[in-house]
Structure 1
Amino acid sequence: MEITDLTPAEHRVWQAFAVDGGVDFRESDDEDPAAGALWGPERTVRAEVLRALLLNGPTRDGETAGLKLTGARVTGQLHLMYGTVDHAVRLRSCYFEQSPNLYGAQVRALVLSESVLPGLTAGTLRVDVVLRITCCRIAGPVRLAGAQVAGAFFLNGARLGTPAAPGGPDAPDPSDEATGEPVLQLNHAVIGADVWAVGLHAHGEVRLNGATVGGQINLDDAELHASGGTALHAETLSVGTDLRAVRLRAHGRVDLSGARVPRQLNFAYARLSNPGGQALRASSCVIGELWLREVPPIRGTVNLRRSQLDLLHVPPQAWPDQVRLDGLTYRSLAPHLPAEQRLPLLEREESGYLPHAYEQLTTAYRAVGDEAAARTVQLAKLRRHRRTLPRYARAWGHLQDTTVGYGFRPMRAAGWLLVLLLTGACAFALEHPRPLKPGEAPDFNPVFYTLDLLLPIIGFGQEGAFAPQGWYQWLSYLLIATGWVLVTTVAAGITRSLNRQ
């Protein structure tokens, strides 16, 4: 392109490029670039001029060239497909008539902050320093699949996609992105530092499947709308440190299946909603700490199957009516609560009775030294298992539960022993059993005679010296049988206590 073909506005940009000079066409700092379609030729730059500058623009010895343009209307398509740009590209507060095409391009830095675009095609883009679309408004899809950014990716405050139709935040849009193309495609991208998306507004799916982020992902105060679909799709995502989503508003499924987050996955104060489907899917994940602190009740199923966590920080009231916890393992729970407040969650398992879920909760309580809570969980496990047994087995289980709490309530067994002791002592006091050898039998003592029947090991010389008759004989049989069961239960409880010490 000959320089004589340039308009006055384009000539200013051309001259400033060689010395990395900035050209600002704005009339005021608070000007809205959404009105860029009405801007006149005095601030209009053709995309082909920008392309010529970036690929073969003038340079000066001792100067660093670069494109630094603010408040311009860019007509035509900025086509840099497979191009190599050795300069920084900064197009702030600009209005693009057509979606730029940077597919397969390599640039030094790309900054489109506060600009308005119909879309952005930049799959497999390579950025040497930083990529910024901070506060951009982009109606169409942002295609960055397979992109490689050596530094950070900033999209804080960006608005992507078309807002939902009237009728509330969860109202379905006739052109709902749940069935269309994701508004942000960052799948299989490699980001060297952080992804900074604080305050992001996305009307459609945000896709990060297979992406690798060297630092953290920050979605604090973001709003993701994809009612009936997937709001955040991040299967097998790998994060270097944290994934923060404090005060996130997600209307649609948050899918983190297979993700790796070595430190915190923080959903504190977030609102997760996908009625009739999965609100949070974090199955087969490896996560340091999962935080759902101060979260209102989640609307939709939570799926944590086969995930591995060091810390699970979830108050009981945050859990939805249905969960999937099969194979979930964790080292500790927070906040520390009585077992009675944690157990209702295990009743919400979609698959029904899962022994592993009870064993895992027991292990977590024992890890912090709360043996009483661990016993409560084990007792609840046996009671839950009882409901899966045939009727005759359930009857035996009810008897075990009532009498000795399946062995986890040894003091209850001691109480039954006392009741039986009083019953036997009173019964045999009314009618003494006959002595087997009248001349050699010791004096009869109803209390010690009953103890002889109840205690299988200790002997007071009464049981072998007297023989009850009639129904007293059947009473003695009952005392012997129940004594064995109850004394064994008490001994087992004492043994567990000594082993813990």
Structure 2
Amino acid sequence: MPDRDPDDGPPADLDFSTAERNLWDAYRYGRQLDLSTGRAADDDPLADDTDWAPERRIRGFVIVRLLLRGPAPHTGHAAAVRLKGACVTGFLDLSGAETGTLLELVDCKLEMPLRLTGAQANSVHLRHCWIPRVEAEGFTSRGSLLLEQCLVTDGITIQQAQIGMDFSLSKSTVRVGAPGPAAVDADGLTVAQDVIADSLRLTGAMSLRGANIGGDFSLRGSALRNPDGTALHAPRITVAHEMILSWGSGPESLPPGEPEADLRPRVEGRICLDGGTFGTSLVINRAVVALGQHQNLSLRRIQTPELVFNPDLRFDAWNHLRPVVDVSHATVGILRDSPTSWPRDLAMLAMSGFRYGYLSPLRHFPLTERLAWVESATPEYSPEPYDALAATLRASGDDHAADMVLLGKRRRRRQQFPAPLKIWEYTQDLTFGYGYLPGRAWIIIQVLWAYATVWFANFPPPPQKPGEGLAWSPPAYALDLLLPVVDLGQASAWHPTGASLFISWVLIITGWILTTIVTAGAAKVVFRPD
């Protein structure tokens, strides 16, 4: 486009004000037009009593005219609409339009909704602005869409939009005027780089169903409040790198005027990430998650190489009508959690089909706590969670812990048996721990050996052939009876009678049983219907 004459101004028929003429001139140089007064009380667009004098007002259609059919830039300059400290009157409506010019508004108040529906633009940046509503369904941006430190009073709709770089709601406050619609409706959103919603204050739902994010999705220090419904609804979301719901990075990350205590993220309402895919990790760490009666934190069928799961769950177990946490059929490479990460009440955790390859707890997670974790997910006995935990522990080289999990599984399983079978089950557990604790049988053998030694020392049996055979040795005789696979010659040299005969038979039978158990247990070949 050829340069216009420097004296050419806006069309006379549009009746531009002085401020609008100045914006026209600033546009050609890509400069920012600053209409702020320098007085904090009069320059805050988020305050209700800010004085927007006539000389600080810019009509929305003037901005649209510049973006769509503005004058040619001066040589060596890139044209841009860059405005600070103004009140934009009327609609700023770019619906269906195409522009390659940057739109940047700072410390501005928009009296009417920002309309970007179906528009194609370069970059749109709004910082510390008051906006009634943002309508951007099907919006396409080659650059970034930044709505930072803004107050949006009636929600943001950005379904099926395509952002070429970043989409940011950092430090913004977004509300919805009426119950029902999402405060941020971004279903089908595609973002080439990051979605940054750090320190976002949201009243209403955030919906990202089927969204595709090419970088990170960050909710550090954010507060999402929809206590009567779903606060974060993002089934089938795809995040190429990391999704983070964790503490803010520091006081500087907070919206202006908020206390440092608000660095901690908080979600009031249901979280649904079902079927989501996270390229490097999903992090829910030290976030307060407050759940109502019918609400839960649902991670069903998610896939991620790493899950950092350490929320501060708050719910009423007595009145809750569904599992508080649901990780059913999720697939995780590394699971990083802590004993306090999960609900402990029966039926408050669902983990059927949950698969994790490696455990790397955030702090000490004793095996007894792990077993309690599995038990809380199985109000009715199910072998699957036990098998999954045992397989993970064995794959990491901790065979003993894996055996203890399978032992816990057997103990849990016997609870559903009738009384006669329970007697046999308890016997197996007591004597050799179902084959997982074969050392118990050795202890029993040693106790019997000691008892028999004392008995036969006091009541020696007569010899089979007086004057012949080995010298009498109570310890060797008792051991010869207990160990059927060893022949010390003592058992055949003596002829017990009465009580000693009965004790001999007990030792022989018990010895056969226990020796078989110990041998089979050591070889991991034992009757275990796992």
For Structure 1 versus Structure 2, the TM-score category normalised by the shorter chain is 0.7 to 0.9
Question: In the alignment, which residue of structure 2 is the partner of 1:103?
Answer: 117
Instruction: Please say if 1:451 is aligned against 2:476.
Output: no
Quote the offset at 1:442 in angstroms: 6.0
Q: Which residue of 1 aligns with 2:298?
A: 281
CA deviation digits over 1:9-58, x for unaligned, max 9? 22222332233232121112742113487523222222222222222222
1:77-111 CA distances to partner (integer Å, 9 max, x unpaired)?
22221111121111222212221221111011111
Q: Give the direction of change, closer, same or farther, for the CA distance of 1:193–1:29 in structure 2 (3 Å limit).
A: farther
Q: Which amino acid aligns with 1:407?
A: G
Unaligned runs of at least 5 residues, structure 2: 1-9, 248-264, 317-323, 526-530
C-alpha distance in 2 between matches for 1:28 and 1:489? 88
Q: For residue 33 of structure 1, what is the amino acid of its counterpart? A: P
Instruction: Tell me if 1:315 matches 2:343.
Output: no
Q: Which range moves more in the overlay, 421-430 or 105-114?
A: 421-430
2:418 maps to 1:406: no
Change (3 A) 1:267 1:75: same
Q: What is the aligned partner in structure 1 of residue 12 from structure 2? A: 3
Shift of 1:281: 1.4
| Partner residue, 2:219 | 219
- Aligned pairs for 1:161-172 (under 5 A) are 161=175
438-447 vs 331-340, greater mean Cα deviation: 438-447
Aligned residue among 31, 40, 53 for 1:40: 53
Asked whether the equivalents of residues 315 and 334 of structure 1 are also in contact (C-alpha less than 8 Å), the reply is no
Tell whether the 8 Å contact from 1:47 to 1:77 is kept in structure 2 after alignment.
Answer: yes
Residue 53 of structure 1 aligns with an amino acid whose one-letter code is L
Q: 1:332 is matched by which residue type in structure 2?
A: Y
Contact 1:258 1:284 in 2 (8 A): yes
Equivalent residue for 1:17, pick from 27, 50, 53 = 27
- Equivalent-residue separation in structure 2 for 1:223 and 1:481 (angstroms): 69
Question: Aligned letter for 2:31?
Answer: G
Aligned residue number for residue 54 of structure 1: 67
Q: Which of 104, 119, 140 is 1:90 aligned to?
A: 104
Question: C-alpha offsets along residues 104-143 of structure 1, whole Å, 9 cap, x if unaligned?
Answer: 1101111122111111110111011111000110011201
What is the CA–CA distance in structure 2 between the aligned matches of 1:298 and 1:477, rounded to whole Å? 62
Alpha-carbon separation, structure 2, partners of 1:36 and 1:112: 21
Cα separation, partners in 2 of 1:97 and 1:36, compared to 1, 3 Å? farther
| Identity rate, percent | 31
Q: Which sections of structure 1, spanning at least 5 residues, go unmatched? A: 164-174
Superposed counterparts of 1:372-383, under 5 Å: 372-383=400-411
Contact 2:44 2:50 in 1 (8 A): no
Q: 1:19 & 1:351 partners in 2: Cα distance?
A: 70
Matches within 5 A, 1:161-310: 161=175, 177=179, 180-247=180-247, 248-293=265-310, 295-299=311-315, 301-310=324-333
User: 2:88 aligns to what SS in structure 1?
Assistant: strand
Separation in structure 1 between the aligned mates of residue 331 and residue 295 of structure 2, nearest angstrom: 19
2:170 alignment partner, SS class: coil
- Residue aligning to 2:250: none
Q: Report the CA distance shift for 1:2/1:9 in structure 2 as closer, same or farther (over 3 A).
A: same
Task: Pick closer, same or farther for the CA change 1:2–1:36 going to 2, 3 Å.
Answer: farther
Between stretches 363-372 and 441-450, larger displacement belongs to 441-450
TM-score by length of 1: 0.87
2:329 is matched by which residue type in structure 1?
A: R
Which residue does the alignment assign to 2:82? Answer: 68
2:138 and 2:158 in contact (8 A); partners too: yes
Match of 1:144 in 2: 158
Distance in structure 2 (CA, Å) of the matches to 1:446 and 1:275:
71
Secondary structure of 2:199's counterpart equals coil
State the alpha-carbon separation in 1 of the partners of residues 495 and 314 from structure 2: 68
Shift of 1:447: 3.9
Whole-angstrom CA distance in 1 between matches of 2:230 and 2:61: 38
Instruction: Report how far residue 464 of structure 1 moved.
Output: 5.2
The offset of 1:183, in angstroms, is 0.6
Q: Deviations over 1:427-463 (max 9, x none)?
A: 5556566777789876665544443433232223444
Tell me the alpha carbon deviations over residues 232-279 of structure 1, each in whole angstroms, 9 at most, x when there is no partner: 111111112111221221111222111111223222222122143444
What SS class does the counterpart of residue 220 from structure 2 fall into?
coil
> Cα 1:392–1:442, aligned 2, differ >3 Å: closer, same or farther?
same
Alignment correspondent of 1:332: 358
Cα distance between partner residues in 2 of 1:297 and 1:225: 15
Q: CA RMSD in A?
A: 2.8
What amino acid does structure 1 have at the position aligned with 2:12? I
Residue correspondence of structure 1 range 382-401 to structure 2 within 5 A: 382-401=410-429
Q: Aligned equivalents of 1:350 and 1:104: distance in 2?
A: 50
> In structure 2, do the counterparts of structure 1 residues 270 and 6 end up closer, same or farther at CA, with 3 Å as the change threshold?
same
Question: In structure 1, what is the Cα distance between the partners aligned to 2:12 and 2:192?
Answer: 39
Determine the C-alpha separation between the residues in 1 that align with 2:210 and 2:267: 20
Cα distance in 2 between the residues matched to 1:198 and 1:3:
45
Aligned counterparts of 2:30 and 2:39: Cα–Cα separation in 1:
21
Work out the CA distance in 1 between the residues paired with 2:66 and 2:167: 25
**Which amino acid in the other structure matches residue 130 of structure 1?**
S
| CA deviations over 1:354-377 (Å, ceiling 9, x no partner) | 322222322333344433333322
Alpha-carbon distance change, 115 to 36 in structure 1, aligned in 2, over 3 angstroms: farther
Secondary structure of 2:376's aligned partner: coil
Shift of 1:351: 4.8
